[in-house]
Amino acid sequence: MNTGQKSEGSDWVALIKPVADDEWIVAHRGSEWLGLAPDLEEDLAYSSINQDEMGHAHFYYALLAELGDPEPERTVYGRPPEQWRNARILEAPNGDWAQTVALRYFYEVFDDLRLEGLSHSLWQPLQDGIRTIRREESYHLQHFSTWFDMLAVGTPESRRRLVNGIDALWMNLGDLFSWGQPDTWLAAMGLDNLSQPVIKAAWERRVGDKLEAAGIPWPGPVPEPLADGRRGQHTQDLQALLNVMTEVQRTDLTAQW
């Protein structure tokens, strides 16, 4: 495999695994909204978005398998919580629709910045995949950006719920920007734009503009995380999620399903 000069396979794993796990977990929580969205039309749209995210996760897991990780099925169904690298905020149980919109808008902005950074990677298969993925993600971002605006200007209740949702999320967004290790290795890969301070500043700028336009007060910089999902430090919510996810499969780990 040729993954570009200077970079080790383990660097690529460290780069791709958090992305893969974010996409899988966000899609899993998203799929819990099936049949429960505020109207049938949104049920359809949101389900398509979550299916996209699952497809993206599968693409990344397949790349990880090429780098020596187990097959995607085992990576998804066979890991204990401490081996997951997703951000903690994504494993939390769903809030109301306003909080879901806020979370997905925050995540989509972050994912957009991250994909922009990743598109400069020197590994062709990753680059090719990202090109396709970005086409889909731009719709996801547009979708939740529109929802964000509608709830912000809709009614006093929708605005109140949106602000509450933002408040509930804000303190726990920190590890979204982390890579679980010092950023020096990113420089070696020529991916400085993905380093924690750079991507966080870009995110705060974009989200700051959005909040300002909506007349929602800026909650201040996102605090440093107290624990880091990128290091496998997770809440009980991830264990609970994985228990549900593997419930059928665990009845017979070697059976075909």
Q: Which is nearer to another protein, 205 or 250 (CB)?
A: 250
Print the binding letters for residues 156-185 with another protein: x by CB under 8 A, - otherwise. -xx--x------------------------
Q: How far is CA 245 from CA 76, 79, 124, 239, in A?
A: 9, 11, 32, 10
Q: Which of 201, 226, 227, 244 binds another protein (CB under 8 A)?
A: 244
Q: Does position 95 bind another protein by CB under 8 A? A: no
For the four alpha carbons of 24, 29, 33 and 37, in that order, the dihedral sign comes to: negative
Only one of the segments 107-115, 189-197, 204-212, 245-253 lies at the binding site for another protein (rule: CB under 8 A); that segment is: 245-253
Q: Does position 47 bind another protein by CB under 8 A? A: yes
Q: Does position 249 bind another protein by CB under 8 A? A: yes
DSSP secondary structure of 112-169: HHHHHHHTT-S-HHHHHHHHHHHHHHHHHHHHHHHHHHHHHHS-HHHHHHHHHHHHHH
Amino acid at 242: L
- Tell me which residue has tokens 């299916």: 51
Q: How far is the CB of 241 from another protein (least distance, A)?
A: 8
Tell me which H or E stretch contains 241. Answer: helix 236-245
Q: Does position 236 bind another protein by CB under 8 A? A: no
Q: Does position 235 bind another protein by CB under 8 A? A: no
Only one of the segments 143-151, 164-172, 179-187, 223-231 lies at the binding site for another protein (rule: CB under 8 A); that segment is: 143-151
Per rule CB under 8 A, count of chain residues that contact another protein:
46
Tell me which H or E stretch contains 5. Answer: none
Print the binding letters for residues 56-75 with another protein: x by CB under 8 A, - otherwise. --x--x----------xx--
Q: Which is nearer to another protein, 26 or 194 (CB)?
A: 26
Is the CB of residue 141 less than 8 Å from the CB of residue 187?
no
Output the six-digit token pair for 249: 């499969």
The number of beta carbons lying within 10 Å of the beta carbon of residue 160 is: 12
> 183-220: string of b/e by CB count within 10 Å (b at 16+)?
bebbeebebebbbbebbbebbbeebeebbeeeeeeebe
Q: Which is nearer to another protein, 35 or 220 (CB)?
A: 35
Binding residues for another protein, rule: CB under 8 A, are 28, 31-32, 34-41, 43-44, 47-48, 50-51, 54-55, 58, 61, 72-73, 76-77, 97-98, 149-151, 153-155, 157-158, 161, 244-245, 247-249, 251-252, 255-257
